[in-house]
């Protein structure tokens, strides 16, 4: 053993056999069953990273608007195309999910909602709220403008 920290990587599985602990991100599926708790958690991270890409798109939009009519019309045309709208739809899902699940995380940080039934219920609320907010946003954006 070269690195003393390796000692912390040794654990026992449910059969009591000594194993090397699995390292993220390849745990769900091989070491753990997919569950609502792990899925809402990894989806929070995935949407967070996706929103990073969305922040780059917001930057592009603002910079093009500040640059002139030419660049702005190009960016607007890309966002308005069907592929652009699909990407923007994805970002609204990511934003509303990360927003709702973020509130769930803040409640946990305050020490609330840790009981398993509460956690499952709040997870279901997050998924429902994401769908409602996304559908509501696009209904307003597409039909009521």
Partner 1 sequence: MSNDPAVHIMRSQLGRARGLGAAKSGLHHWWAQRITAIALLPLSLYFVISVIILDHATRQQVALYLGEPWNTVLYLSLIAAMFYHLVLGLQVVIEDYVHNETVKLATLLIVKGGVIFCALASAVSVLKLAL
Q: Which residues bind partner 1 (CB under 8 A)?
A: 1, 4-10, 18-20, 23-25, 45, 48-49, 51-52, 55-56, 58-59, 62-63, 65-66, 68-69, 72, 92, 95, 99, 102-103, 105-106, 109, 137, 140-141, 145
Query: Torsion angle of alpha carbons 70, 73, 79, 82, nearest 10°?
Result: -120
Closer residue to partner 1 in complex, CB, 66/116: 66
Please give the C-alpha separations between residue 92 and each of 17, 50, 69, in angstroms, as whole numbers.
45, 10, 26
User: What length does the chain have?
Assistant: 145
Closer residue to partner 1 in complex, CB, 4/116: 4
Closer residue to partner 1 in complex, CB, 83/142: 142
Report the nearest approach of partner 1 to the CB of residue 7 (Å): 5
Report the nearest approach of partner 1 to the CB of residue 62 (Å): 4
Are 101 and 127 spatial neighbours (Cβ–Cβ below 8 Å)? Answer: no
Report the nearest approach of partner 1 to the CB of residue 45 (Å): 6
Tokens 């195309």 belong to 81
Closer residue to partner 1 in complex, CB, 11/34: 11
Report the nearest approach of partner 1 to the CB of residue 117 (Å): 25
The alpha-helical segments, DSSP class H, found in 18-81 are 36-67, 69-80
Are 138 and 88 spatial neighbours (Cβ–Cβ below 8 Å)? Answer: no
Q: Is the link from the previous residue into 113 a cis peptide, with omega within 30 of 0?
A: no
């Amino acid at each position: 053993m070269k690195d003393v920290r390796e000692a912390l990587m040794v654990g026992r599985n449910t059969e009591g056999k000594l194993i090397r602990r699995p390292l993220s991100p390849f745990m769900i599926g091989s070491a753990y069953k997919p569950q609502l708790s792990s899925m809402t958690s990894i989806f929070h991270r995935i949407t967070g990273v996706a929103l990073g890409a969305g922040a780059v798109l917001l930057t592009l939009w603002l910079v093009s608007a500040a640059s002139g009519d030419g660049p702005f019309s190009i960016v607007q045309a890309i966002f308005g195309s069907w592929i652009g709208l699909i990407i923007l739809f994805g970002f609204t899902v990511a934003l509303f999910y990360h927003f709702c699940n973020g509130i769930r995380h803040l409640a946990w940080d305050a020490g609330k909602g840790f009981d398993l039934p509460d956690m499952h219920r709040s997870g279901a609320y997050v998924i429902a709220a994401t769908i409602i907010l996304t559908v509501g946003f696009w209904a307003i954006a597409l039909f009521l403008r």
